[in-house]
Amino acid sequence: MATAGKVIKCKAAVAWEPNKPLVMEEIEVAPPEANEVRIKIVATGICHTDLYHLYEGMDEGGFPAVLGHEGAGIIESVGPGVTEFQPGDKVIPLIIPQCRECRFCKNPNTNQCEKGWDGGDDVKVLADSRFTCKGKKVLQFMGTSTFSEYTVVNQMAVAKIDTAAPLDKVCLLGCGISTGYGAAVNTAKVDPGSTCAVFGLGAVGLAAVMGCKAAGAKRIIAVDINPEKAEKAKLFGATDFVNPKDHSKPISQVLSEMTDGGVDFSLECVGNVGVMRSALESCVRGWGVSVLVGWTDLYDVATRPLQLIAGRKWKGSLFGGFKSKDGVPQMVKGYLDKKVKVDEFITHNMTLDQVNDAIELMKQGKCIRSVLSVSPQ
């Protein structure tokens, strides 16, 4: 492409400081360096983790930054040493890389990678970004930064996808849908004929419901304080809907009474430590498995030791347990084969210029997923 090797000036939504609206700016995106690719972002979803960094995480050192991590685009150019990708490839940038060489990548029991962006156990931003704006370095969020017309990503954190995939749909497989679906299928390992409960019916929770159904669960109880989520949950496979506000007793007791002692599997998709405890205590003793899916790092989570001594298991799931370079193309194929729903998650189609409106919709719980059109294909 004519832009290869040159600095590209483009539009991006910049978070200059926490708790403030994003600002549409012209930024400069440097060419990719060794083992990096520059991607023209075509579409991006907005995930609650973006809001978490902006409004809840209290990480003042994480600004200015370009947020966004649920995108899809086309390779514009590649840096030295890149052989896996070439300009024109359709790709999804990944929040968890897969180098395929480290002890984590070689271990089938985890999807984490030692050579990833410096995220550790927390959501961080890459200081060594290729972005500048008004003469200042702008940080890169989760190694991706998809609220920009162009971004530069390490090749370890990019998945090549089927050329038939519509980028304005499959961008959602870069985080939310894969996270929830995989938590049920890969982490919980939901059994056929089992009873499940999913707490929180945002995109991640609805994807967890879909994963429970795909795994063959007989009964799937969707739990949310918003009664408007009931019909949507049933579309994805829920058999029951419970609103904790409709009951005077703890939700764990309600579910225990509904299921003869508790569910086989529960998935917490809110990011609330109180709900995490409720989800665990909703499981049947002896073999119940509860999975933490919702993101938070602000508070400790606690339960009585007897809950675990009695045989329940408490597990965590990051990106649905998918080894990213392998799992995301599989999810895209599942979508193209009509085995994985994606379109049904999209409630709003907007443009990058409307990013603050889309954020407001999510804050108010008025959307499942908004997809922003970023660049023409």
Q: Tell me what the mean pLDDT of segment 116-131 comes to.
A: 60
291: CB partners within 8 A, 6+ apart: 183, 184, 187, 188, 265, 266, 267, 268, 315, 316, 317
Is residue 269 predicted with pLDDT exceeding 70?
Answer: yes
pLDDT band at 60 (very low <50, low <70, confident <90, very high): confident
pLDDT band at 58 (very low <50, low <70, confident <90, very high): low
pLDDT tens digits for 82-92? 999 999 999 99
Domain 177-318 classified CATH 3.40.50.920? no
Beta bridge partners of 145: none
359-366's contacts with Cβ under 8 Å and 24+ in sequence apart are 359/21, 359/22, 359/46, 359/50, 359/51, 359/54, 362/46, 362/48, 362/51, 363/51, 363/55, 365/226
Amino acid at 215: A
Is residue 365 predicted with pLDDT exceeding 90?
Answer: no
340-345's contacts with Cβ under 8 Å and 24+ in sequence apart are 340/177, 340/181, 340/210, 340/214, 341/210, 341/236, 342/169, 342/170, 342/172, 342/173, 342/177, 343/169, 344/235, 344/236, 345/172, 345/176, 345/177, 345/203, 345/206, 345/207, 345/369
pLDDT band at 176 (very low <50, low <70, confident <90, very high): very high
Q: Tell me what the mean pLDDT of segment 240-251 comes to.
A: 97
Q: Tell me what the mean pLDDT of segment 234-254 comes to.
A: 97
State the Cα angle at 267 between 266 and 270, rounded to 5°. 135
Beta bridge partners of 132: 28, 137
DSSP calls for 39-93? EEEEEEE--HHHHIIIIIS--GGG-SEE---EEEEEEEEE-TT--S--TT-EEEE
Q: Tell me what the mean pLDDT of segment 252-272 comes to.
A: 97
**Tokens 């999913």 -> residue:** 198
Is residue 325 predicted with pLDDT exceeding 70?
Answer: yes
Contact 293, 269 (CB under 8 A): yes
Residue 95 has a pLDDT of: 94
Residue 317 has a pLDDT of: 97
Contact 340, 7 (CB under 8 A): no
Is residue 294 predicted with pLDDT exceeding 60?
Answer: yes
Q: Tell me what the mean pLDDT of segment 182-206 comes to.
A: 98
Q: Tell me what the mean pLDDT of segment 276-298 comes to.
A: 96
Is residue 112 predicted with pLDDT exceeding 70?
Answer: yes
Q: Tell me what the mean pLDDT of segment 113-125 comes to.
A: 58
pLDDT tens digits for 327-347? 999 999 999 999 999 999 999
Statement: the pTM of the whole predicted model exceeds 0.85: yes
pLDDT band at 296 (very low <50, low <70, confident <90, very high): confident
Q: Tell me what the mean pLDDT of segment 231-255 comes to.
A: 97
Return mean pLDDT, the chain: 94
Question: What CATH number does domain 8-21+48-161+168-176+321-373 carry, 3.90.180.10, 3.50.50.60, 3.40.1410.10, 1.10.10.10?
Answer: 3.90.180.10
Which helix (H) or strand (E) covers residue 325, if one does?
Answer: helix 324-336
Scored b (16 or more CB within 10 A) or e, 226-261 reads: eeebbebbeebbbbbbbbbeeeeeebbebbbebbee
DSSP tag of 192? T
C-alpha pair distances (Å), 304 with each of 116, 277, 278, 316: 35, 9, 12, 18
Residue limits of CATH 3.40.50.720 in the chain: 177-318
Q: Compute the distance between CA of residue 18 and CA of residue 22 in angstroms, rounded to an integer.
A: 9
Contact 309, 288 (CB under 8 A): no
Contact 99, 164 (CB under 8 A): no
Is residue 93 predicted with pLDDT exceeding 60?
Answer: yes
Residue 119 has a pLDDT of: 44
Residue 231 has a pLDDT of: 95
Is residue 117 predicted with pLDDT exceeding 70?
Answer: no
Task: Give the tokens for residue 254.
Answer: 């309600």
Residue 120 has a pLDDT of: 42
> Closest by alpha carbon to 25, among 149, 152, 151, 168?
149
Amino acid at 321: G
For residues 340 and 296, which has the higher predicted lDDT (pLDDT)?
340
pLDDT band at 122 (very low <50, low <70, confident <90, very high): very low
pLDDT tens digits for 352-363? 999 999 999 999
- Beta strand ranges found along the chain (DSSP E): 8-15, 23-29, 36-45, 65-66, 70-78, 90-93, 125-133, 136-141, 150-154, 158-160, 195-199, 219-223, 240-242, 265-268, 289-292, 313-316, 346-351, 369-373
Residue limits of CATH 3.90.180.10 in the chain: 8-21+48-161+168-176+321-373
